[in-house]
Amino acid sequence: MSQQVHAVRSENAIDPDDITIAYIGGGSRQWAPNLIRDLAQSDLHGQVRLYDEYYESAQLNAEFGNWVHDEADVEPSADWSYEAVEDLETALSGADIVILSTQYDPAETFVHDLDIPKEYGIYGAVAATIGPGGIFRAMRTVPLYRKFAAAIREHCPDAWVFNYTNPVHFVTRALYDEYPDINALGLCHEVLGTRHRLARYAREELDMDAEREDISVNVKGINHFTWIDEARCKGVDLWPVLEDLVESDHAHQEFSWEDLEDESVFVDNWQVTWELFRRFDVLPAAGDRHLVEYATSFIQNGQEGLNRWGVKRTGSDYRSKHWTPAESDQTTDVEAWLDGEKEFELTESHEVFVDILRALVGRDTYVTNINLPNVGQVSDLQDGAVVETNAVVRNNEVKPTAAGGFPRPVRSLIRGHVDTIETVIEASRDGDVDAAFQGFLIDQQIRTLQTEEARELFAELVAAEEEYLQDWALEDSDVLAEADAYPAN
- Cis peptide leading into residue 76 (ω within 30°): no
Report d(CA 462, CA 481) in Å as an integer.
12
What residues contact residue 270 under an 8 Å CB cut-off, 6+ apart? 197, 251, 288, 310
Report d(CA 469, CA 472) in Å as an integer.
6
φ and ψ at residue 368, rounded to 5 degrees: -160, 170
Task: Give the DSSP per-residue string, 154-166.
Answer: HH-TT-EEEE-PS
Active site residues: 189
Please give the radius of gyration of the chain, using alpha carbons only, rounded to the nearest integer: 22
Report d(CA 489, CA 6) in Å as an integer.
50
Q: Are 125 and 305 in contact (CB under 8 A)?
A: no
Report d(CA 39, CA 80) in Å as an integer.
8
What residues contact residue 389 under an 8 Å CB cut-off, 6+ apart? 219, 220, 369, 370, 372, 377, 378, 400, 401, 403
